[in-house]
Structures are given as C-alpha cells and as structure tokens.
Structure 1
Amino acid sequence: MTATLLPTPATTTRINSRFFDQMVDLLHLGEAAGVVHAVSGFLHAMQSDCDRWPEMIAALRGHRLHQALLEDPYLAHSFTRPRGYAGDAGLIDLIYDREPPPGTSEPGARLFAVTTASLASEAVRQRAHHARALVTAAHARDGRVCVLACGHFREGDALAGLDLRRFTLVDQDEQSLARARAAHGSARLEAANVFAFLRRAALAGERYDLVYTLGLTDYLDDRAMALLHRMIARVLAPDGRAVLANFRPDLACNGWMEAVMDWQLIYRDEADLAGFAGAAGLSATTWTDPTGQIAWSELQPTG
C-alpha cells in the first residue's frame, strides 16, 4: 500500500506565496478582473478549512499582494475603517456612486471598477433601489417612517428638499447624520443606538407605518436580532410594516470580504428571517433579491 503524502504547512505556505506572487504579476499587466476573480475563488475554497483559515488571512495580509489590492479605494476604505467600524456610509457611497476618489492610482482605478461591479456590490445598489421605492411611496401616503441605522439615507436622495417631518432617521454615527441633515433638514434626526432609540420610542407610544433598515442586521448576533424584532413589533402601527435585508450564507465573496477587506458579516437566509419574525409575533413575507445575495423580510403585526 502506498502512503498518501499530505502537504506540510511549510509546503502549503510556499504554494500560497507563489500564487500570490503570480497575482501581483498579473496586476502589473493590468489584469484586475482576472486577479479579483482568481483570488476570490481561492479564498472561497480555503475558507472551508476552519483550522487553517486564520493562518491564510495572515499570510495574505503579510504578502505584497494585499498592499497592491489596497490601491483600490473601496478595498482600502473597508480595511482601514476611517470611521472606526466596518461598512460605514462612506463605503456604501463608493458602491452606490462607483466613482473612485481623486488621486486614485491607475491600478487602483482598474480594481475599483471590478470590485464595485461585483454581484455583492450590485446587490447593495438594488437594495437601495428597493428602499427608494419604499420611502417614495410612504412619503406620497404621508406615512410615518423610521429608518434604523440610516447612514447617509441615500435612498432618500429623490426626496431632498421635500417635507420629511414625518420621517425619523436614526444613526449613532454623527458624520452620517450630518450628511443626512444637509440633504433632509426637515426630518427628525436621532443620534442614538438603535436599541436605545426603539426603547424610548416604545415607551413614548410612538408608532410608525414603515420601519426599515438596510444593513444593520448583517452585524447583529442572534440574540440582538431577536431583540430587534421584538422592539420593532412594539413601534409598528396596527397596519404598519417593517422591512429588513440580510446578506445570505455561502456567497462566493465571503472569504474575499473577510480576508481582503476585514469586513465580516452575519449571514442569514429567508428561513432564518422568518423564524425571528414568528418568535416576535410578526408575520413575514420573505424573498431573495435578483442577484441571489440578499434575503429580504417584510414584517407585519399578526393581531
């Protein structure tokens, strides 16, 4: 019987280093799309090895490939976290606008064009498009709207200059609120933790026709997610609705986001979202967006 020789950690490290070297060479040749797709696929495959995954992340970040990738301002913004946390509104604006900042290098601009065209990025833009339809319809009905973790409230761009006194925008990032205030000064802006705000709103008897959040649930563990549903249930009007969006599990970009961008999410599918709704006494309609990246849940009181 011939023994099967498994690669040693040192051998694996050399193989990975050679692969990373090849990717740098391709970047120098202008092959940004090929590099992003190859590295993303490689990281997706490696992520399944839970024991070696932290080692893989360290190897990538210690290699010159990672610095080359960070010439992309989108990737650099995510990794450096200029506001101190992942997925801030400035990062989301880069996905929405697809305009690299002035001074971006030519290799960085090529990478930026690829990374902001990914399925995950397109899902973020489609998520905003759906929210834009929600807020436009709610404004036309003079509905009471509460936006949790509102960021820059870019889905409300078309409502700039209109009367938004029945809109409440909640975020704990003062920079985000300043941007929202500049465009929507008539709205009520609350600088607060979402849970603290909802607790106060429920005690004050506030009720909303529409409550929604676009990215918040991606960062909530199950305990916080359950609490969010219970608190939303307390502030919904009897015929109101809440809308949540959460990135789905097993996406091809998960390894790339974690290793390259230091952007870690908590992924859920439609069944997960329906379970949280039912436990909070809410009925849920769930669906997957056209890109297959995001699970949506629309919640309504059952009473």
Structure 2
Amino acid sequence: MALSNLPQTQCLPKEEDIRFFEMSGYWVSPKIFSDEQLERIIEHQEKIYREEYETGAEPICNWLEGVDNPRALRKTDNSHWSDLTLRSVATDPTLGAIAAKLMKVDVIRLWHDQLLYKPGRGTGKETANVGWHQDYVYWQNCMEPTLITAWVAFTDVDLSNGCMQVVPRSNQWGLVNVNNFFEQNLEKQQAEMEVPENEVFTTVPLIMKAGQASFHHALTIHGSGANVTEKPRRSMAVHLMTGNTRYRFNPKGGQHFNARILNGKDGDLYTGDSWPVLYP
C-alpha cells in the first residue's frame, strides 16, 4: 500500500525556491513523511538487512552483517525491488512533483534508490564518511545530467551524525577532477580539487528533521562526515531523472547496472517498468 497517492501541494517549491535551486544546486523541502510513516519505513529497512525480501527479489549490493565491516556505511541499491514500503518511498508522488518543479519538466522517473545506514561510532574508529562527489560522474550512461536526487531523512540529521553537506554553485562547474564516493579523507579531496576561476569551495550542512527531503542536482558536489553519536543515521537517496533522459554508451566507466537493464543504443530514452513514473 502506498504511503501517499497524491502530491502534497503545500510541500512544493515556490518560484524563489526554484531560482535558488538553479543557482545553488540544492533545496530542502518541508516535512513530507509523518512520524508514523517513518516508523514503518524503518521497520522495513531492518527487514532488508535481515534478508527478508517481501517481493522475493533481491536488491543490489545489500550489506550483510558479518560480511562487511559493521562500522562502515551500509548502502543498498534498488531496495524498491525487494520491499513495497520502501518502493512507496522511492516512488513517492510528492518527491516526483518537487523534482519536476525544480528541473522544470513534465515527467519524472525513478533512476534508482540507495537505502543508507550510517552507524553510530560507538567504540569503532571507522568514520563511515561519504567522499566529495557528483552523482553524474557515476551516471555517464545518461547522455546529459538530467537527473536530480531526493535524499530522504528517516532520522533527524545534523553535523553530529554526519548529515549531507553540499557545495553551493558547484552544479554550474561541470564535472570536476576529484570524485570519489568512498573516499574517507574529505580534506585531502578538497585540497586536490580544481575549482573554476572566480568560484570558491564552500560547504553547507543540510540539517533536517526526520521526514524532510533535500534535493540536489546531479552535478552538485556533496559528501558527509562521521556519525559520532550512538544512534544510526538512516536515509534513502531517491535518484530521479527527467522523462527526456537518454542512454549513452560510456567506454570510460562501463555500464551502470540500470543501463544494463535497458541494453539500449545511443539516444534511447529510459522508459518502461524498470524506471517507474513518479510525476505526473
């Protein structure tokens, strides 16, 4: 059963919000998911980690206790294949309507989701950082950067538990020379990054309450620091694309797993049930 069936119009960005997104590359929504919905969502997130797949379909790259470092970031791609509640988050119509407004398009589809769990530090030394990166560097099987991410907070997030941080205006820089989701040394990355002339690398922490979503363009540089609290930071990155997103063969980076599903040729649209429509 869907968490919601129609967009929540009170959450949609206004004209000044859209202008801010175009200039800065990010925007934070009001609360979209209720506390009751979040309780249910977190229950189903835990089911994924126990390999209890409601649909019988496995996600991609699920984190399994005892296999990977228990203090590291857990990242599960396409959890919406495996669980209907998580699918309702990944295909939420309000997320789609906001993305359509920000990208100024008529159609928004799901590219893929990433279920994320950043453990509390406890006694471990691992940081579970997310290195500075632009999403589009991993999505060059898309012909243009016609993609946007909705990062949904399942718990309150701030600097103490490793909230996302963005670099304003970096959506206008093109692809930069330093991109690595898995890098733990963010200071080293920043020092090595070639920033365009007359631009400055500054960061803004996206401090949010549970149930809010932040939106960032596929070229916006972002990352996150350590969770030094005792409780996990929980979220889902809902990666979305406009209805005119087209396939491109990428000899440098091989095939993204979603591009392999399409098995297309240059210029083909990403359409079909593998990329559900969130809007309209």
Do the two structures share a fold, i.e. TM-score over 0.5? Answer: no
Q: Give TM-score scaled by structure 1 length.
A: 0.25
Answer with 1 or 2: which has the greater Rg. 1
Q: From the two aligned structures, give the one with the greater strand fraction.
A: 2
Q: From the two aligned structures, give the one with the greater helix fraction.
A: 1
Q: Give TM-score scaled by structure 2 length.
A: 0.27
